[in-house]
Amino acid sequence: MDLAVDKLVHDFGIAGSLADGDVVERRLSDLGGTFADDDALRDAAAANDRIVYTVTSAAGGDGEGDLGYGLGVLQPGRVGDEYHLTKGHLHAWRPAAEVYIGLRGSGAMLLQDEDGGGSRLVPFGAGEIVYVPGDTAHRTVNTGDEPLVYLGVYPARAGHDYGALAESNFRHVVLAGPDGPVLRERRELDEERS
């Protein structure tokens, strides 16, 4: 195997930039259907269509045993009472697991079984690692007041399936409560609003 050194080493800064990677940028207007309160999202995007998060991805190769990785930067903030979050995804190759490594900031990972059953909120921040098993939807949430910067490492063939969650979304949402983050069922919030 003859890989150039620049394919083996990527520098990242404390702010969370990854040299020579593919960058995806998500603004409030790109996140329709992800937040529980569509009206609050629409109002926030109209007032300031800010960047909520960026992910810079780099492939370590495309062989069967190769890994891919991405550096995420999730900005602090809220839409209504809901913390800033990523779209979240399942892997296209469902058995693929992923490891998230917290580099800066504080937040949580919202994990949900593919069938929509079990959900759990796992604290996640600088110096912490979260293992996401295969067949598990996962979403990153920034519950702090500075950018949440993290590295995700996954099998190169994992792929991302956003479509499955665009139809059903996550069953739970993460809201700001008086003593910190609170996990609430989306259905209950919908009923309260109607």
Per-residue buried b or exposed e for 135-146, using 16+ beta carbons within 10 Å of the residue's own CB: ebbbbbbbbbee
The CATH number covering residue 21 comes to: 2.60.120.10
What integer pLDDT is reported at residue 26 of this predicted model?
A: 97
pTM value is 0.89
CB 26 within 8 A of CB 53: yes
8-state DSSP, 144: S
CB 27 within 8 A of CB 52: yes
176 — pLDDT class (breaks 50, 70, 90): very high
**Total count of domains within the chain:** 1
Q: Which residue has the higher pLDDT, 14 or 188?
A: 188
* Domain of residue 96, residue span: 5-193
**What strands, in cross-sheet order, belong to the sheet with 129-132?**
22-27, 51-59, 67-74, 148-155, 98-104, 129-132
Q: Considering the chain, what percentage of its residues have pLDDT values greater than 90? A: 68
Interval 28-80: pLDDT, tens: 999 999 999 999 999 999 999 999 999 998 876 777 788 999 999 999 999 99
In this structure, is the dihedral angle defined by the CA atoms of residues 26, 28, 33 and 36, taken in order, positive or negative?
positive
